[in-house]
């Protein structure tokens, strides 16, 4: 575990070095770097630690994971939770870690919104973006977040909630939900996130790095995949049947294979690179069957 000062906060960071460094005639080439950004409230870098991170490291990627401000083991300030605050954190963290070359960003849910926002801000620093059940920050996104966070704050204050969760799902789930409740009730998160600066369609179109977007067929976000492809110059979307919002957990193997292939397809790699091709990258708007 490492605590790194970035943007004035102590952020919890974990790294999994590439286990199979790429070799060229001149020696060992720096492995591609992938940065994994988790979702909001009950999430933390742990969601990657036991899903994508080990697979990516074994495939020859240098993996960086971190807890967002206020979540996991990172510092929890009382205010400062707009999207641009999270973007400042990621920018400062990458400045501190100084990875070799442009990074591949993978974001789950709100983490995908952060990843896309970073690509819009720093096009030259991003090799590709993979969004899992996520969307860019737009005016519609802001309105939705305001409703969802207000509803979440109310539900997480409900009497008897934690006893019910412990009985149904155990103490581990209850611990994570308690942490989410503290974030909503002791910080300005619910007010700050909907007040974030958003992107218009011209700003979204300006993101020219390759973007892969994965959606669950039963998720409310799946309807936007055609819209996203219509705006981005290099975008593939995949709709996964029988999945709702938690595609990362419900279809981990498929998700990992698709993202690895996307990274491989958009990394200038030396000969004999160890990053394997797992699943052919589907055509835009494909549905995995």
Residue 13 has pLDDT above 80, yes or no: yes
Please say whether the beta carbons of 149 and 192 come within 8 A. Answer: no
On average, the pLDDT of the chain sits at 91
Percent of the chain residues past pLDDT 90, beyond the cut: 83
CATH 3.40.50.1820 given to domain 2-141+200-287: yes
Contact 212, 130 (CB under 8 A): yes
- pLDDT tier at 123, thresholds 50, 70, 90: confident
Please report the pLDDT score of residue 100 as a whole number: 86
Give the residue ranges of DSSP H helices in 59-109: 83-97
Q: Is the pLDDT of residue 258 over 90?
A: yes
Contact 275, 59 (CB under 8 A): yes
pLDDT tens per residue, range 43-66 = 999 999 999 999 999 999 999 999
| Three-state secondary-structure class, residue 28 | strand
User: How would you write 221-273 as a 3-class SS string?
Assistant: HHHHHHHHHHHCCCEEEEEECCCCCCHHHHCHHHHHHHHHHHHHHCCCCCCCC
Strands, sheet with 103-108, edge to edge from the N-terminal-most edge strand: 2-6, 9-16, 62-66, 33-37, 103-108, 126-132, 211-216, 235-240, 286-287
* Residue ranges of domains in the chain: 2-141+200-287
Give per-residue pLDDT as tens, 187-224.
999 999 999 999 999 999 999 999 999 999 999 999 99
Identify the top-confidence range among 128-142, 256-270, 274-288. Answer: 128-142
Q: What is the pLDDT of residues 128-138, one digit of tens each?
A: 999 999 999 99
Instruction: Please give the pLDDT value at position 286.
Output: 63
Res 25: pLDDT: 47
Count CB neighbours of 173 within 10 A. 14
Global pTM value: 0.91
């Amino acid at each position: 575990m490492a605590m790194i000062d970035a943007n004035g906060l102590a952020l919890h960071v974990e790294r999994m070095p590439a286990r199979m460094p790429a070799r060229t005639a001149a020696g060992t080439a720096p492995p591609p770097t992938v940065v994994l950004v988790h979702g909001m409230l009950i999430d933390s870098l742990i969601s990657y630690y036991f899903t994508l991170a080990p697979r990516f490291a074994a495939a020859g990627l240098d993996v960086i994971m971190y807890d967002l401000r206020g979540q996991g083991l990172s510092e929890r300030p009382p205010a400062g939770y707009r999207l641009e605050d999270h973007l400042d954190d990621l920018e400062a963290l990458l400045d501190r870690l100084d990875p070799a070359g442009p990074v591949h960003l993978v974001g789950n849910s709100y983490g995908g919104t952060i990843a896309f926002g970073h690509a819009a801000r720093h096009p030259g620093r991003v090799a590709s973006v993979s969004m899992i059940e996520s969307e860019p920050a737009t005016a519609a996104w802001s309105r939705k977040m305001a409703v969802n966070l207000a509803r979440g704050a109310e539900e997480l204050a409900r009497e008897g909630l934690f006893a019910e969760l412990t009985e149904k799902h155990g103490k581990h789930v209850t611990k994570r939900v308690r942490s989410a409740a503290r974030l909503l009730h002791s910080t300005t998160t619910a007010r700050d996130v909907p007040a974030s600066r958003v992107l218009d369609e011209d700003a979204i179109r300006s993101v020219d790095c390759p973007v892969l977007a994965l959606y669950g067929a039963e998720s409310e976000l799946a309807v936007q995949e055609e819209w996203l492809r219509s705006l981005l110059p290099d975008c593939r979307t995949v709709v996964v049947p029988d999945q709702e919002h938690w595609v990362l957990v419900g279809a981990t193997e498929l998700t990992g294979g698709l993202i690895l292939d996307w990274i491989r397809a958009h990394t200038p790699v030396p000969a004999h690179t160890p990053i394997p091709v797992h699943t052919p990258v589907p055509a835009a708007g494909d549905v995995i069957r």
